[in-house]
Amino acid sequence: MCLIYKNIGKVSKIIRLVCVCVCVCACACACVRVWVCACVGVCVGVWVRVCIHREVHELNPPEVWNSVLQFASWGSKGQQLIYIFENNIYYQPDVKSSSLRLTSSGREALVFNGIPDWLYEEEVLRSPVAHWWSPAGSSLAFLTLNDTLVPNMVLPCFTGALYPRGPQYPYPKTGQVNPTVKLSVVILDGSSHTIELLPPKSLEKSEYYITMVQWVCDEKVTVRWLNRAQNTSILTLCNKHTGECARKHVLTSDKWIDHQNEKPVFSKDGAAFFVTLPIKHGANGSFHHLTMMSEQVTIRHLTSGSWEVTKILAYDESLSTVYFLSTEGGASNRHLYRVSTVSPFHRECLTCSLFKPQCSYYDISLSPDSQKAMLLCAGAVPSSPSQTHPFNSPLQETLRKRRIPRREIRTLFHNNHGNKNYDSEPGSQQVNERFRLDWDSVLVSSHDVIVARLDGRGSGFRGQKILQEVHTRLGVMEVQDQLAAYGGFLSSILLLSHGSHFRCAVAMAPIFDWRLYGTISPIMVQVQ
């Protein structure tokens, strides 16, 4: 990534450009990272243009020789820069200052600072970034991941030579050693003073994950810790100067806990915060609902019902109001709501009556003061009108194969299980109103095919009862409900157990031995 600071006269702005991004698949031997389509930047410069004169400052610290730049970005204040070479973090207060190395423990493919290894990028954080700036830019929190004890996976690469090459990479499988993780905060005052944030004592002597890190203010950071079994989650508030972390909430489950990447929304003073927690609702089980926590009052549930809050957007303290997205109008919908934090907790939908029936699935971006909202209507698309001349047969035939497919959502009742509309890896959702053009669209519009996607037991956004019914029974409940689900595993199971209904199936990357799968997936929680 190239970071370009551009100043023309009195107008100043910052531009980020991606110079070269190499997208590689698992067998690209010559690349720095070997997992699925990770991007590696090879542009190593900061271009500073002041009026007519141009100055070039390379990101080239003296400790590094002939190495590839792994990451670069601006900080949260002024011209702060952070970049990563050889799994070590480097910092510059501005583009003209000398580089300061913040870590020295980095080792290729073994010890990572500020960027994730395979497990954390693909399954835990689901992000290529493992560092977080404090709001004022005075500190940087970062993960250190050590894969030294993780068993290696051989990645055979067939290059046309007589023997395939076999680079190795740490890959934790079921029951094997996970990478150790450490969260640290470095003070960016020139001293590079670094302190480790301590995990809860109940997790100190066991394997655990860090699934969420977020600065509350410039002095405190909130962290979510998750045990390896993924049935105990601890939310803490940590002091960056002492490293001590105070427990704010502990959540346990007899199955597994989801929503682990969710970031709490805090009040300005950090005394109160909002999260979603599973709340029981009669025979339908538990649903994720908006919850307010503070030291002064007990846990306060602001919403309830047989629907879920999918995202907390903001808290407006002046109006005592929280904004959020939910499925109250239907599991396939996403609408913007607001609710008062003062009893009786009045709730109002702000988008339900807008643009009906064209928009039922919204993506929302609120202004910093929560006074304005940018609405992205992501679905549904009720129709795609077109007109053709009645005597132009070639045009009619061409357009017939290019039409946007007509989508229908139906609720099917099977074996008295009630409403069931689920799919895929536990927690996912395929049946919703979001508009998309994908491979299904090609099949329907060009090949006269009907595509059906079903959400059965084991999918998300319809409550914990349906989500967790597949616990310890993978490949049983999903097949009974829908005869289709995640990947080649169930495609193969379908042919074995329902051969009279299905004569052919496509098994893409099938999993035939669960011991070979990665460790943290919700699927693997039921196997380990």
pLDDT for residue 73 is more than 50 = yes
First-residue to last-residue Cα distance in the chain: 39
Whole-number average pLDDT of the chain? 78
Number of H helices, E strands in the chain: 7, 33
- List of residues 6+ apart from 382 with CB closer than 8 A: 357, 358
pLDDT for residue 79 is more than 50 = yes
Mean pLDDT over residues 357-381, rounded? 88
CA 323/CA 316 separation, integer angstroms: 8
Residue 170 domain-assigned? yes
> Within 10 A of 56 (CB to CB), how many other CB atoms are there?
9
pLDDT tens-digit profile of 94-109?
988 999 999 999 999 9
pLDDT band at 264 (very low <50, low <70, confident <90, very high): very high
The predicted structure's pLDDT at residue 362: 92
The predicted structure's pLDDT at residue 170: 93
Residue 404 domain-assigned? yes
The predicted structure's pLDDT at residue 131: 98
Give pTM, 2 decimals: 0.76
- Select the more confidently predicted residue: 375 or 401: 375
62-71, 319-328, 439-448: range with lowest mean pLDDT: 439-448
The predicted structure's pLDDT at residue 339: 97
* 224 touches 143 (CB < 8 A): no
The predicted structure's pLDDT at residue 7: 34
* 256 touches 460 (CB < 8 A): no
Residue ending a domain, among 132, 161, 176, is 176
pLDDT band at 465 (very low <50, low <70, confident <90, very high): low
pLDDT for residue 75 is more than 70 = yes
pLDDT tens-digit profile of 495-519?
777 656 777 777 767 777 777 777 7
- Select the more confidently predicted residue: 65 or 527: 65
Virtual torsion, Cα 195, 200, 205, 211, nearest 10 deg = -80
pLDDT tens-digit profile of 121-168?
999 999 999 999 999 999 999 999 999 999 999 888 888 888 888 888
Residue 381 domain-assigned? no
Residue 120: DSSP 8-state: I
The predicted structure's pLDDT at residue 259: 85
Residue 266 domain-assigned? no
Query: Alpha carbon 59 to chain centroid distance?
Result: 29
CATH of the domain at 451: 3.40.50.1820
Residue 467 domain-assigned? yes
- Select the more confidently predicted residue: 471 or 80: 80
CATH of the domain at 101: 2.140.10.30
Mean pLDDT over residues 294-323, rounded? 91
Residue ending a domain, among 129, 156, 176, is 176
pLDDT band at 381 (very low <50, low <70, confident <90, very high): low
pLDDT band at 5 (very low <50, low <70, confident <90, very high): very low
Q: Which long-range contacts (CB under 8 A, 24 or more apart) does 507-510 make?
A: none
- Select the more confidently predicted residue: 282 or 23: 282
pLDDT tens-digit profile of 410-426?
665 555 444 433 334 44
Place of tokens 């655990």: 208
The predicted structure's pLDDT at residue 134: 97
Domain hosting 474: range is 400-525
pLDDT band at 365 (very low <50, low <70, confident <90, very high): very high
pLDDT band at 47 (very low <50, low <70, confident <90, very high): very low
The predicted structure's pLDDT at residue 49: 43
Residue 211 domain-assigned? no
Total count of domains within the chain? 2
The predicted structure's pLDDT at residue 382: 62
Residue ending a domain, among 139, 159, 176, is 176
pLDDT for residue 528 is more than 80 = no
Residue 379 domain-assigned? no
186-200, 261-275, 367-381, 463-477: range with lowest mean pLDDT: 463-477
pLDDT tens-digit profile of 203-244?
999 999 999 999 999 999 999 999 999 999 999 999 999 999
Residue 168 domain-assigned? yes
The predicted structure's pLDDT at residue 511: 72
CA 454/CA 438 separation, integer angstroms: 16
Radius of gyration of the chain (CA): 26
The predicted structure's pLDDT at residue 70: 95
Query: Around 399, how many Cα atoms within 13 Å sit in the side-chain half-sphere?
Result: 12
